């Protein structure tokens, strides 16, 4: 990648793969997009894929697989117990991470369920750089408390800090002193910190946190779901690792933690999940939950075909030309938007481009779910489906009051190796148009609000008829164009 130079000196992302199977997508006229988002209760999760032009909701389970992954799927050994597929996957995981034990699970949150059930007792604290929605839900469901101590830079929209996902070491020390080690269930580091814009964690930080945890006898849990992106950034942004191969970096991280888990819907571009552990007692304890909630130990809720694809996908993750594909597209999208003045999280992270709804919709109150409104407006303007990552994605406080998110983001995820540069440029163009017309965007309010993870199924309505005005303005400005 880095060896390809364009005459203009411009930094243009170059796809290091060719497309050999395609899926047709539809771009509906703006009037129909308006109708669809209304029917979906202004919740992009409730849109139907057939009405979407580019699905940039998530990078989870929607990444393009390699021909080697598809080929491996044909080789799967269907068996309830003792499947050869399981042993192939286990061997790959042990080779890459060099950890003792592997437990399979059907996806990332299933790992979180097992970890939370095994390690949390009511009233215990978990300390982490930042929560993920499902992580927090499992911890609180088991009576645990989540404490977030990401670096101050992590919560700034605009920053030059290369590793915004780092844990604030002083806060970690203070928190341990305050609670005492016996009240702390574990410290958790999330690679490629999702909710603050896919921001990486430095190796120095993992090393320092690990040293503190080991001195104190506190377990360190590492969420490796976004490890691929994080590895790319360690190589790109930490001079010390420029020439270190990816597998050595991965092994170094794994050597510093006690429990490592992942969503294979992201890491390895397949579908599934898993937990790696060194401690035998903990393994035996978690093993029971796997058989109870996931399936027998040699599949853990995954299909054998997906396990084969995962084994290959994990090996491919050790290749810079595979893992650089999403970050370079994210950077290109962010740069196009920044050039038009659109506020996005910087530096660009992995996972996706994160538009700052706090600034974009500065005129919409936080109580009216400004990031949710922006996600709906983006769909009307472009047919691109993105995701709200703000107050809507939070759970209400125990007293029913709203818990306002620290960041209000519209996340435009970039699934791995799925979209082309022209599609990305189209996305940037429509969002730039929306930014020019941002005053039209108004707020949303709930019509139906589920108690748990309300962003998945909640239905909302617009406050006023701003969506209609937006569609009319679009038609006026773009004429016959979709």
| 8 A C-beta contact, residue 201 and residue 166 | yes
Judged on CB neighbours under 10 Å (0-12, 13-18, 19+), 246 is buried
Dist. CA 346–CA 202, nearest whole Å: 16
Told to check if 303 binds ligand F0G by CB under 6 A, we report no
Q: Which position among 113, 142, 151, 225 is part of the footprint of ligand F0G (CB under 6 A)?
A: 225
* Residue among 10, 17, 93 at smallest CA distance from 318: 93
Told to check if 250 binds ligand F0G by CB under 6 A, we report no
Number of residues that bind ligand F0G (CB under 6 A): 15
Dist. CA 282–CA 358, nearest whole Å: 43
Dist. CA 285–CA 118, nearest whole Å: 7
User: Rounded to 5, what percent of the chain is helix, strand, coil?
Assistant: 45, 15, 40
Nearer to ligand F0G, 60 or 437 (CB): 60
Told to check if 190 binds ligand F0G by CB under 6 A, we report yes
CB of 173 to ligand F0G, least distance (A): 25
- The residue with its CB nearest to ligand F0G is 108
Q: Which stretch binds ligand F0G (CB under 6 A): 145-153, 221-229, 243-251, 367-375?
A: 221-229
Tell me the Cα Rg of the chain.
22
Q: Which position among 44, 194, 202, 205 is part of the footprint of ligand F0G (CB under 6 A)?
A: 194
Dist. CA 13–CA 9, nearest whole Å: 12
Told to check if 58 binds ligand F0G by CB under 6 A, we report yes
Told to check if 306 binds ligand F0G by CB under 6 A, we report no
CB of 11 to ligand F0G, least distance (A): 27
Q: Which position among 13, 41, 104, 108 is part of the footprint of ligand F0G (CB under 6 A)?
A: 108
Told to check if 388 binds ligand F0G by CB under 6 A, we report no
Structure tokens at 91: 């061997």
Q: Which stretch binds ligand F0G (CB under 6 A): 27-35, 103-111, 245-253, 308-316?
A: 103-111
Structure tokens at 59: 């990078």
Structure tokens at 415: 């699934």
* Residue 21 to residues 17, 64, 378, Cα–Cα distance (Å): 12, 10, 28
Q: Which position among 113, 129, 140, 263 is part of the footprint of ligand F0G (CB under 6 A)?
A: 263
CB of 378 to ligand F0G, least distance (A): 16
- Beta-carbon contacts of 460 under 8 Å, excluding residues fewer than 6 positions away, are 41, 42, 43, 369, 372, 444, 445, 446, 447
* Residue among 178, 223, 220, 175 at smallest CA distance from 198: 223
CB of 421 to ligand F0G, least distance (A): 23
User: Site residues for ligand F0G, window 126-155 (CB under 6 A)?
Assistant: 132, 134
In degrees, rounded to 5, the angle at the alpha carbon of residue 425 between the alpha carbons of residues 419 and 431 is 110
Told to check if 226 binds ligand F0G by CB under 6 A, we report yes
CB of 411 to ligand F0G, least distance (A): 8
CB of 379 to ligand F0G, least distance (A): 17
Question: Under the rule (CB under 6 A), what is the footprint of ligand F0G?
Answer: 58, 60, 107-109, 132, 134, 190, 194, 223, 225-226, 263, 265, 273
């Amino acid at each position: 990648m880095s060896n390809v130079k364009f005459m203009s000196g411009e930094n243009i992302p170059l796809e290091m793969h060719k497309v050999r199977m395609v899926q047709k997508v539809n771009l509906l006229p703006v009037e129909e997009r308006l109708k669809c988002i209304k029917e979906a209760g202004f919740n992009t999760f409730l849109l139907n894929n057939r009405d979407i032009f580019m699905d940039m909701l998530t990078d989870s389970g929607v990444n393009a697989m390699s021909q080697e992954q598809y080929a491996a799927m044909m080789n799967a050994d269907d068996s309830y117990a003792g499947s050869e597929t399981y042993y192939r996957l286990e061997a790959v995981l042990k080779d890459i991470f060099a950890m003792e034990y592997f437990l399979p699970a059907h996806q990332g949150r299933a790992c979180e369920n097992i970890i939370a059930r095994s390690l949390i007792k009511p009233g215990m604290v978990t300390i982490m750089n930042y929560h993920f929605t499902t992580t927090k839900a499992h911890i609180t469901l088991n009576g645990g408390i989540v404490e977030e101590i990401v670096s101050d830079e992590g919560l700034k929209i605009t920053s030059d800090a290369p590793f915004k996902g780092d844990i604030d070491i002083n806060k970690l020390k203070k928190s341990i002193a305050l609670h005492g080690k016996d009240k702390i269930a574990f410290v958790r580091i999330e690679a490629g910190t999702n909710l603050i814009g896919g921001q990486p964690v430095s190796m120095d930080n993992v090393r320092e946190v690990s040293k503190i945890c080991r001195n104190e006898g506190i377990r360190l849990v590492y969420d490796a779901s976004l490890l691929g992106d994080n590895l790319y950034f360690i190589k790109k942004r930490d001079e010390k690792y420029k020439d270190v191969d990816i597998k050595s970096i991965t092994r170094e991280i794994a050597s510093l933690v006690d429990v490592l888990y992942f969503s294979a819907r992201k890491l390895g571009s397949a579908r599934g999940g898993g937990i790696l552990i060194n401690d035998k007692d903990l393994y035996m304890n978690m093993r029971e939950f796997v058989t109870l909630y996931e399936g027998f130990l040699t599949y853990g809720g995954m299909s054998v075909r997906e396990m084969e694809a995962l084994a290959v996908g994990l090996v491919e993750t050790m290749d810079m030309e595979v893992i650089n594909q999403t970050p370079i597209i994210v950077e290109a999208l962010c740069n196009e938007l920044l050039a038009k003045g659109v506020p996005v999280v910087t530096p660009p992270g992995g996972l996706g481009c994160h538009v700052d709804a706090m600034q974009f919709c500065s005129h919409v109150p936080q109580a009216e779910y400004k990031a949710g409104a922006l996600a709906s407006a983006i769909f009307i303007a472009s047919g691109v489906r993105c995701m709200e990552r703000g107050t809507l994605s939070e759970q209400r406080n125990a007293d029913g009051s709203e818990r306002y998110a620290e960041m209000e983001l519209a996340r435009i995820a970039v699934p791995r190796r799925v979209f082309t540069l022209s599609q990305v440029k189209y996305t940037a163009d429509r969002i730039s148009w929306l930014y020019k017309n941002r005053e039209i965007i108004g707020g949303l309010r709930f019509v139906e609000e589920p108690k748990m993870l309300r962003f998945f199924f909640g239905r909302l309505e617009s406050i006023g008829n701003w969506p209609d005005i937006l569609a009319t303005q679009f038609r006026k400005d773009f004429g016959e164009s979709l």
